[in-house]
């Protein structure tokens, strides 16, 4: 019953762990998606701000520059240049525009507020050349790396726009305008501040909607574990009762009968003459029956082990090591103070030690065995190490180590772990860790 109580507690803690994992992963997902949403918002905001700059550049080119793009400007007439200077100067003085260039399709600059550029010819990028003849505009954060930008480098970070226009005679030109980047960045920040909370609010709302589903799933998991543990409780209780019934029947039946047979054989042996030809046979039969009685008594102990406490665990382990010591195997036992261990933990450690020492006795051909029980603040650890032949875990006959497999299941059911470290010819070490208070 103690085992089932522990399993119920483990089931509850498992549900809590599952819910905690859900909340932790949800929080992690929230942080990740929030970061992505913030980055997306900034990207969208910047794209929107640059699009606004492109519209401003197109309007400036069409309304201010295009009406003054005359044939004289194309020829480099100083009067035409001065006229355009006067038109763009107000925007230059208020800092909203930092540079203006007017290009021909051949890549010649026919006007710039920086007069040193007028008449210079550079290669137009294909994407900008394709704008000619239409009414579109493009904008971008410029890196000022092109040859024609040598005069703009001191101006710092800029947004440049390209807008296609037609001069007064209908021939295509391209107006390049440089805006300071700070207003664009400010617009992007303002848009991002509006978009990011909306994205985060949607994510938080989704998580809040999922939380009741997670709670309901956790409750269903609790109920499923509870039902499973009730079935296990009945199964274990029935198994314990059956094991103890078999042990009692052996004690009251076969063991008593064989013990009586031993007494009878010993009585017959005492009455026989020392030179009787039957004496050796009687002695041999008596020894065999006594050995069978001893083996049956050990089987009874295995079927119904003693109800150990923490204080008696070391004595119980010493008793389990008796057959090995009688066979000439050196057994070293070290057990920490286990007085505070719950009976569930003590019983599990005892049964594990019994199975492991039985395996050593039957299979290891060892000359030395070390049994160690250490008690930490939250767990108890049983270590059984031998210097025997070891075995290959991949090649071992499963039927020969069924007890070890069943022990692994029992330890796992109690929330513990079992690790086997072995190799052929190098001995075996088994480490079992169980919660101190499962």
pLDDT value at position 131?
Answer: 86
**Mean pLDDT score across all residues of the chain:** 80
User: Which uninterrupted H or E stretch holds 31?
Assistant: helix 2-60
Q: DSSP for 316-369?
A: HHHHHTHHHHHTT-EEEEEE---TTS-HHHHHHHHHHHHHHHHHIIIII--SEE
pLDDT for residue 9 is more than 60: no
pLDDT for residue 107 is more than 70: yes
Lowest mean pLDDT among 96-105, 178-187, 376-385, 411-420: 178-187
Of all residues in the chain, what percent carry a pLDDT higher than 70?
84
- Give the residue-averaged pLDDT of 318-339: 88
pLDDT for residue 400 is more than 60: no
pLDDT value at position 67?
Answer: 93
Distance CA 249, CA 299 (A): 12
Q: DSSP for 203-246?
A: HHHHHHHHHHHHHHHHHHHHHHHHHHHHHHHHHHHHHHHHHHHH
From 78, 75, 76, 100, select the one nearest 87 (Cα to Cα). 100
Which of 11-20, 67-76, 277-286, 395-404 shows the highest mean pLDDT?
Answer: 67-76
What is the pLDDT confidence band of residue 413, given thresholds at 50, 70 and 90? confident
Which of 9-23, 189-203, 237-251, 339-353 shows the highest mean pLDDT?
Answer: 339-353
**Cα 184 from chain centroid (whole Å):** 42
- The predicted-structure confidence for 224-260, as pLDDT tens digits, reads as follows 767 766 775 576 567 667 877 887 887 788 878 888 8
Using an 8 Å Cβ cutoff, are 117 and 151 in contact?
yes
pLDDT value at position 5?
Answer: 42
Measuring CA to CA, how many Å separate 221 from each of 4, 14, 16, 68, 106?
17, 9, 10, 79, 75
pLDDT value at position 229?
Answer: 60
pLDDT for residue 369 is more than 90: yes
Using an 8 Å Cβ cutoff, are 161 and 97 in contact?
no
- The predicted-structure confidence for 187-222, as pLDDT tens digits, reads as follows 767 766 776 777 777 777 877 777 787 777 777 877
Domain 1-224 has CATH 3.30.70.20: no
pLDDT value at position 174?
Answer: 92
Distance CA 288, CA 276 (A): 20
pLDDT value at position 382?
Answer: 94
Distance CA 271, CA 248 (A): 34
pLDDT value at position 6?
Answer: 43
Question: Which two tokens mark 104?
Answer: 């021909």
- 425 against 80, higher pLDDT: 80
pLDDT value at position 10?
Answer: 43
Distance CA 317, CA 352 (A): 10
- Give the residue-averaged pLDDT of 431-437: 84
Question: Which two tokens mark 438?
Answer: 């499962």
* Alpha helix stretches (DSSP H) within 104-180: 126-129
Using an 8 Å Cβ cutoff, are 188 and 48 in contact?
yes
- Give the residue-averaged pLDDT of 45-51: 76
pLDDT value at position 11?
Answer: 46
From 249, 101, 268, select the one nearest 175 (Cα to Cα). 101
From 70, 102, 100, select the one nearest 83 (Cα to Cα). 70
Indicate the domain borders of the chain. Answer: 1-224, 305-435
Q: Which CATH architecture is the domain 305-435 placed in?
A: 2-Layer Sandwich (3.30)
* Alpha helix stretches (DSSP H) within 61-77: 71-75
Which of 17-26, 335-344, 395-404 shows the highest mean pLDDT?
Answer: 335-344
Measuring CA to CA, how many Å separate 97 from each of 64, 115, 151?
13, 16, 15
pLDDT for residue 4 is more than 50: no
pLDDT for residue 16 is more than 80: no
Q: Which residue has the tokens 């109800």?
A: 307
From 153, 156, 161, select the one nearest 178 (Cα to Cα). 161
pLDDT value at position 1?
Answer: 38
* Alpha helix stretches (DSSP H) within 251-327: 256-271, 279-303, 313-320, 322-326
- The predicted-structure confidence for 149-164, as pLDDT tens digits, reads as follows 888 878 878 888 999 9
Distance CA 271, CA 264 (A): 11
What is the pLDDT confidence band of residue 103, given thresholds at 50, 70 and 90? very high
pLDDT for residue 333 is more than 90: yes
């Amino acid at each position: 019953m103690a085992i089932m109580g522990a399993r119920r507690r483990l089931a509850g803690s498992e549900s809590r762990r599952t819910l905690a994992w859900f909340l932790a992963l949800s929080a992690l997902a929230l942080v990740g998606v929030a970061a992505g949403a913030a980055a997306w918002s900034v990207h969208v905001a910047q794209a929107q701000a640059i699009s606004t700059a492109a519209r401003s550049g197109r309007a400036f080119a069409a309304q201010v520059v295009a009406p003054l793009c005359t044939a004289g400007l194309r020829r480099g007439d100083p009067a035409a240049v001065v006229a355009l200077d006067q038109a763009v100067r107000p925007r230059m003085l208020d800092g909203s525009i930092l540079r203006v260039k007017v290009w021909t399709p051949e890549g010649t600059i026919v006007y710039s507020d920086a007069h040193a550029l007028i008449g210079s010819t550079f290669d137009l990028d294909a994407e900008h050349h394709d704008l000619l003849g239409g009414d579109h505009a493009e904008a971008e954060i410029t890196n000022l790396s092109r040859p024609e930008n040598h005069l703009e480098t001191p101006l710092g970070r800029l947004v440049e726009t390209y807008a296609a226009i037609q001069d007064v005679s209908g021939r295509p030109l391209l107006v390049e305008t440089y805006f300071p980047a700070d207003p664009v960045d400010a617009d992007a920040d303002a848009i991002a501040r509006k978009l990011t909370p909306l994205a985060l609010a949607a994510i938080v709302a989704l998580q809040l909607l999922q939380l009741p589903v997670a709670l309901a799933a956790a409750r269903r998991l609790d109920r499923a574990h509870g039902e499973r543990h009730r079935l296990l409780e009945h199964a274990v209780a029935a198994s314990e009762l059956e094991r103890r019934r078999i042990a009692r029947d052996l004690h009251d039946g076969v063991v008593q009968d064989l013990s009586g047979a031993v007494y009878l054989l010993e009585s017959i042996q005492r009455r026989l003459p020392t030179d009787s030809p039957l004496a050796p046979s009687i002695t041999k039969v008596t020894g065999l029956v006594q050995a069978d009685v001893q083996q049956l008594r050990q089987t009874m102990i295995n079927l119904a082990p003693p109800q150990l406490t923490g204080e008696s665990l070391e004595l119980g382990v010493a008793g389990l090591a008796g057959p090995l010591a009688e066979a000439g195997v050196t057994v070293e036992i070290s057990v920490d103070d286990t007085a505070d261990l719950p009976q569930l933990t003590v019983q599990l450690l005892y049964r594990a030690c019994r199975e492991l020492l039985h395996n050593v006795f039957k299979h290891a051909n060892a000359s030395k065995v070390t049994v160690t029980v250490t008690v930490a603040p939250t767990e108890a650890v049983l270590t059984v190490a031998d210097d025997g032949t070891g075995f290959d875990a991949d090649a071992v006959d499963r039927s020969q180590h069924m007890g070890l497999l069943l022990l692994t299941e029992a330890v796992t059911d109690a929330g513990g772990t079992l690790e086997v470290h072995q190799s052929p010819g190098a001995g075996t070490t088994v480490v079992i860790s169980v919660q101190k208070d499962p």
